[in-house]
Amino acid sequence: MYTKTTNSINADVASYGHRRKKILFANIPADGHFGPLTGLAVQLKKAGHDVRWYTGPSYASRIEELGIPFYLFAKAKEVTVHNIDEVFPERKKIKNHVKKVIFDICTYFIERATEFYEDIKDINKSFDFDILVCDSAFTGMSFVKEKLNKHAVAIGILPLCESSKHLPPPIMGLTPAKTAAGKAFHAFLRFLTDKVLFKKPHALIERQYRNAGMSRHGKNLFDVQIDKATLFLQSGTPGFEYKRMHMSSHIHFIGPLLPYKNKAPQPLSFEDKLRRYEKVLLVTQGTFEGDVNKLIVPAIEAFKNSNYLVVVTTAGWHTNRLRERYKEFDHIVIEDYIPFDQVMPFADVFISNGGYGGVMLSINNKLPMVVAGIHEGKNEICARVGYFKMGINLRTEHPKPETIRKAVKEILDNPVYQKNVEHLSVEFSRYHPLSLCEKFIDQLPALQRQ
């Protein structure tokens, strides 16, 4: 069974001597893929490495704020949550959820891989970098590693998705089976996803790799990303991951890797309310989801007549409309963005759609959760929240107000959730993500130039 102590982690990454390296960061254009990399980029820059970034135009200003030189997508299309239906208008006609997931996997991720590679190949002509650091879904990684002879460090920004014969396939949000029948069913599902559900994505990857003189060695779309990385540094700790008998030796847990913070805490306009109310609920749908009727509105409806303070962050989706709708309720605070690390110490329950960064931060702050997310891999995150009793997984993207109200009451009444999240936060505190990542990267040997 896989376990690794903090001491053994530190021993694994004993310094091989610091050498100034040229490092190129890259990310899929989505906040959950970008944010976790920012702190590490700044850390490596401060350590004296030549750090630069390759990304889409949407992230240019944010990278500029970090003081890091950057290269923008040239041949690669920038596909984001805001423009995906414009870039691919045929997507609007897909009503079946599974078919839409497959379409997004192919267009948002796989088809961009060779475009990313072509851009980075051009970048390499003037910036002959040593290491590519990218989020674990950045599909250009394998081409850069094999065709340009670079080290590739992938940062796991979702729960670990390496296949295991002891676990269900990673896309379905299922928890480990306890019975022989359940394990047999999961084995069937693993076959079904690899051979049927992902037949089209796998054929697309196969064609790309064959044209480049590469091979995926029969691995599925999740495993190939892990297999191709020089290092796979997984955000989180073993306590938030299912037990598995085997794990690839180049996978290492690094603790919760959170976005860079470069601003001092600012006074909150509603700070007096945080101290005035007996219970505080923090609500978010993350930055990706723009339909506020999925979770934000049901959560507000659940507690609009309560004596709880409800603090809502919209990520800029329909903030003014929501404020107008609920203007008569003084205990409901609605903001575009909220500094979670300032509010979470006051909160009693975190209601979210299960974004990985928010869940990591919630555990860091000993805050139990109610989670309601299915798409973009959130079903896997929410499944773990429920499985480890860090909170309650509602197993839907459209919870009813009464369902949310009952879940919050269960968390407030049952101390097991608070106890479990506090226990895992202690495990989190034993890890120092930025230092660990830096040591792993420092240990990478020089590669022979082509």
Segments of the chain with pLDDT less than 70: 1-18, 449-450
Structure tokens belonging to residue 39: 């702190």
Per-residue pLDDT tens for 289-317? Answer: 778 999 999 999 999 999 999 999 998 88
Cα 70 to Cα 61: distance, rounded to the nearest angstrom: 10
Distances (CA, A) of 299 to 94, 124, 258, 274: 29, 49, 26, 18
**Percent of the chain residues topping a pLDDT of 90:** 85
The pLDDT of residue 449: 64
Residue 32 near residue 355 (C-beta atoms within 8 A) = yes
Checking 259-263 for CB contacts under 8 A at 24+ apart, the result is 259/35, 259/36, 259/38, 259/39, 259/357, 260/38, 260/39, 260/41, 260/42, 260/66, 261/39, 261/341, 262/42, 262/65, 262/66
pTM here is: 0.92
- The whole-number pLDDT of residue 333 equals 97
CB 361 within 8 A of CB 255: no
Please choose, from the candidates 414, 365, 418, the residue with its C-alpha nearest in 3D space to the C-alpha of residue 390: 418
Q: Give residue for tokens 């729960």.
A: 159
CA distance 342 to 268: 9
> What is residue 365's predicted lDDT score, i.e. its pLDDT?
97
| Residue 153 structure tokens | 């460090």
